[in-house]
Chains A and B, each alone.
Chain A
Amino acid sequence: MATHEIIGHWILIFLTISILSYLYADNPFYKLAEHLFVGTSIGYVVVVQWFDVIKPNLYDRLTNDALGPARIVYLIPLCLVLFLFAKLVPRFAWLSRISVAFVIGFYAGQNIPAYLNSDLVAQVASTLAAVTRATKPDATWHQMLGAFVLVVGMLSGLVYFFFSRRESGPLNAVARVGVWVLMIGFGASFGYTVQGRISLAIGRALEVFGMNRTAAQAEQLHGKLVAAVCVVVIFGIVAFLEHKRKLREAEAERLAAEQEKRENESR
């Protein structure tokens, strides 16, 4: 492995532990890592956006002679972009509304049939499909129960969202059932999420220890050792700083209390 890769891996370990130190308390290591992270991410997206979007879709097209006079059409997005920038100049700031109107109108329109199709019609159809499946001769009892729960749950859930329902009334009781169904769904969702989140932490541990590399590489990296050193140093310093901060706060509190006492006495 190249030297820069090994050093890079150590930086990686340092940053990983620095961010994890946030679990203990906000501290200078975390702040450093946070700002480095935000900074590099900004740099990264700017470079990517230029090379992957603006350059091929606008710049290259406007400067590509092979396209001939057809290029003129790309002056329109250029105008829209310039309009957007006009917001920096108060006198022409209103021009940016044209670009905003274009973008919002475009996506608002596009979303309407897309959502209706996949989130409304297809979902109702899937529920009906489950019901038809449950009416088949070879349907199992859990499929039938499932279809029942599906229909009742979906209907009561819809009632929960029904904005025209009064606070008290029979519909409210149905809406309550709807909330139960939603809650079971959320619970299931949470239960599944736990797995995913823990996997992420495992992934970090694997990378820090060099366990996702070949044995030879892992040996060169000394991941476990470096990680242990980082943990001791970073958490040691953070604990020390926290301790000092607590002392300071206690002191400030004491002073404030004394002051208050003195004020009360003088009164």
Chain B
Amino acid sequence: MGSRSRWLVPTALLGLGLFACSLPSDPVAPATELRTEIVRKPDGTAIVRVTFRKSADDGAGREIVAKYQLMRAHGSDAPVPVLSAEPEGASPGPGRAALDDPSAVPGETYRYFVVAHAEREQSKMTGAGGPSSTSRPSAPIRVPDAPAGSPAIAAIGAPTLLGVSSPEASDGRALQIKFRIAADDDGLVVREYRLLRAEGDGPFRAFRHKDIKAGPADGERERSETIAVPPGVAWRFQLFAVPARGEPVAAATTSAAAAAEPSYFNFSHLWLFFLLALTVALTVVFLYIASQPGARLFIRRIPGVDAIEEAVGRSTEMGRPILYVPGIDEIQNIQTIASLLILGRVSEIVARYDTEIRVPCCIPLVAAVGEEMVKQGFYNAGRPDSHKPQNIQWISSEQFAFCAGTNGIMLREKPATNIFLGRFFAESLILAETGYVNRAIQIAGTGEITQLPFFIAACDYTLIGEELFAVSAYMTHEPRLIGTLKAADYVKLVVGVVLLVMTLLLLPATWSRPAVVPQDRAHAAASDPHCVVLGWARRELACEPTKAAAAERMTAYQRDNPPSGFEQFVMKLVGYLQTG
């Protein structure tokens, strides 16, 4: 048997390696047969329409074209396209397509290119957007002069490319581009910013990236954008400001080459990491204490659990089976896992009393694992022969079909004890009511808060939330398992103390402040499209229903009463914890 495990791991690694290597890397075939024409709009302005035959790979083969992008080069002799004329378009699939360039400047001459951006279905190991390919240029076309009296097209200023680096907590497939927006960019003159990228020292090419909107963000003119790039290559970038109409303006300098570096730790989860480390550390401490000879760790009584053995005894006396329902959720839910662990303990008791346990399950995998647990429980009790595998039954994985089937078992076999532990949903009341009418002793436990009132209403004992997770350890009285309970207990203590201290420190601010006119801010906050991404303070300001007045009032107030350092810290922390 040892040999099996020896080749299991290498095979897995080999498989993964082969998987990664077998991915295609060729770009798609380019678009062909570009033709240009001038289209007059009703208002007299002219736009250039480019028609082309789509990539040969589009709609065939392993490569799939996700997008076509129209690019134009100024003048009739520029060898490479300078910039996209319009955002990407054209629905993928074979055949011909057309793309319009509405921003062409009257009187200028252009040549057009069509870039086909690939997107692979099976790509798992590469970044967003497959390699793209650029078509041969169209013949030069001159845009007709504007009708007399048209307003002149104003030139816009250039943006500044500040630097390129891997963003924080990067998965190794993204680069963050820092730039300063054009001096006259008010969000209207400039339509958007676009990037070209170059692989190493190669030429700059178009690539697919998300739209970089114009205008200051959060009032800041220095901005950053995170762009997905394929890993393992150093990229250089060139930034353009694209005006609403007219020629794009490039930043004075291109960026230095930078490769996307993956991060190995997400620092925005640092607090969580500390909390987890604290839990693990406390667990280790308590495991050590538990391992000391004669260690006795106290935990309070949980009456619902004490009742289980009693109820099993009663069932035995009445000669009726025990019903154990491990919830209806999949095995991936921790409540189900906790319930299955309890099932093992309960079946041990059942085996000792030599009575019968019925376990209807909603999920086949839960039934499979549950059967193992029961088998093991009977084995531990020294009665492996009394175990009847058919008593662990898969009913149906449909919630109410399962409920109907379990109801049937309750109605016709009349178990004297019903134990419902795990994750339950709406069926909880149907099960508990049927059990109540049957006069069974009922013990329920779940972390599902919405179902707890029904269990409380119809069951004799109800385990609330965390108590469910304590059952398995509680039933064994094994110091090591109790130790993990203790560890969680002390984390709870820490959490409670933190909450209390923070609240107390925030309180003085409340008393010292006068009340201003109340507003229905919950509603206002939620209705503003920007609210979710802003910090709390901005949100409160930006979202007042009577924006101007309220904002003014608050600004004045905050100017006069700046928040204390501690308040600022709490606000920062809260915002951070909520989003991290």
| B464 and A120 within 8 A (CB) | no
Closest to B517 in A: A138
Please, what's the 1-or-0 string for A153-167, where 1 marks a CB less than 8 Å from any CB in chain B? 011001101111111
For chain B, the count of residues having a C-beta within 8 Å of the partner chain is 93
A186 adjacent to chain B (CB < 8 Å): yes
The interface residues of chain B lying within 8 Å CB-to-CB of A127 are: 499
With the chains together, A122 CA to B506 CA distance in Å?
19
A11 adjacent to chain B (CB < 8 Å): no
Checking A97, A107, A116, A125 against B574 with a beta-carbon cut-off of 8 angstroms, the contacting residue is A125
A84 adjacent to chain B (CB < 8 Å): yes
| B337 and A107 within 8 A (CB) | yes
B227 adjacent to chain A (CB < 8 Å): no
With the chains together, A153 CA to B420 CA distance in Å?
27
The interface residues of chain B lying within 8 Å CB-to-CB of A193 are: 450, 453-454
- Report the minimum CB–CB distance from B186 to chain A (whole Å): 31
Closest to B491 in A: A120
B577 adjacent to chain A (CB < 8 Å): yes
| A132 and B536 within 8 A (CB) | yes
With the chains together, A92 CA to B428 CA distance in Å?
37
B78 adjacent to chain A (CB < 8 Å): no
Given A34-B407, A34-B408, A115-B334, A138:B18 Cβ within 8 A: no
With the chains together, A183 CA to B578 CA distance in Å?
27
- Report the minimum CB–CB distance from B7 to chain A (whole Å): 11
Checking B62, B495, B561, B567 against A158 with a beta-carbon cut-off of 8 angstroms, the contacting residue is B495
| A73 and B15 within 8 A (CB) | yes
Given A128-B499, A137-B514, A164:B299 Cβ within 8 A: yes
Closest to A64 in B: B122
| B452 and A132 within 8 A (CB) | no
The interface residues of chain A lying within 8 Å CB-to-CB of B557 are: 137
In chain B, residues 1-37, which have Cβ atoms closer than 8 Å to a Cβ of chain A?
Answer: 11-12, 14-16, 18-19, 22-23
| A41 and B331 within 8 A (CB) | no
| B515 and A138 within 8 A (CB) | yes
A124 adjacent to chain B (CB < 8 Å): yes
| A84 and B500 within 8 A (CB) | no
| B22 and A67 within 8 A (CB) | yes
A236 adjacent to chain B (CB < 8 Å): no
B489 adjacent to chain A (CB < 8 Å): yes
Checking A69, A121, A155, A185 against B272 with a beta-carbon cut-off of 8 angstroms, the contacting residue is A121
Given A76-B12, A113-B272, A128:B332 Cβ within 8 A: no
- Report the minimum CB–CB distance from A217 to chain B (whole Å): 26
- Report the minimum CB–CB distance from B284 to chain A (whole Å): 15
In chain A, residues 39-96, which have Cβ atoms closer than 8 Å to a Cβ of chain B?
Answer: 40-42, 44-45, 66-70, 72-73, 75-76, 84, 87, 96
DSSP majority for the B interface? Answer: helix
A259 adjacent to chain B (CB < 8 Å): no
| A137 and B407 within 8 A (CB) | no
Given A26-B411, A37-B401, A107-B337, A69:B18 Cβ within 8 A: yes
| B578 and A129 within 8 A (CB) | yes
Please, what's the 1-or-0 string for B554-575, where 1 marks a CB less than 8 Å from any CB in chain A? 1001000100000100110110
- Report the minimum CB–CB distance from A244 to chain B (whole Å): 18
With the chains together, A120 CA to B507 CA distance in Å?
23
| B404 and A37 within 8 A (CB) | yes
A151 adjacent to chain B (CB < 8 Å): yes
With the chains together, A137 CA to B510 CA distance in Å?
8
| A128 and B22 within 8 A (CB) | no
Given A76-B15, A125-B578, A38:B499 Cβ within 8 A: no
- Report the minimum CB–CB distance from A111 to chain B (whole Å): 4
With the chains together, A128 CA to B404 CA distance in Å?
44
The interface residues of chain B lying within 8 Å CB-to-CB of A161 are: 464-467, 492
- Report the minimum CB–CB distance from B569 to chain A (whole Å): 11
Interface residues of A (CB under 8 A from B): 26, 31, 34, 37-38, 40-42, 44-45, 66-70, 72-73, 75-76, 84, 87, 96-97, 100, 103-104, 106-108, 110-113, 115-117, 120-122, 124-129, 131-140, 144, 151, 154-155, 158-159, 161-167, 182, 185-187, 189-190, 193, 197
Interface residues of B (CB under 8 A from A): 11-12, 14-16, 18-19, 22-23, 62, 122, 269, 271-272, 275-276, 298-301, 331-334, 337, 365, 368-369, 371-372, 395-398, 400-401, 404-405, 407-408, 411-412, 426, 449-450, 452-454, 456-457, 464-467, 470, 485-486, 489-490, 492-493, 495-496, 498-500, 502-503, 506-507, 509-510, 513-519, 521, 536, 540, 554, 557, 561, 567, 570-571, 573-574, 577-578, 580
Given contacts A69-B18, A128-B502, A135-B510, 8 further A-B contacts (CB under 8 A): A44-B398, A76-B11, A107-B332, A110-B332, A117-B272, A124-B499, A125-B574, A128-B506
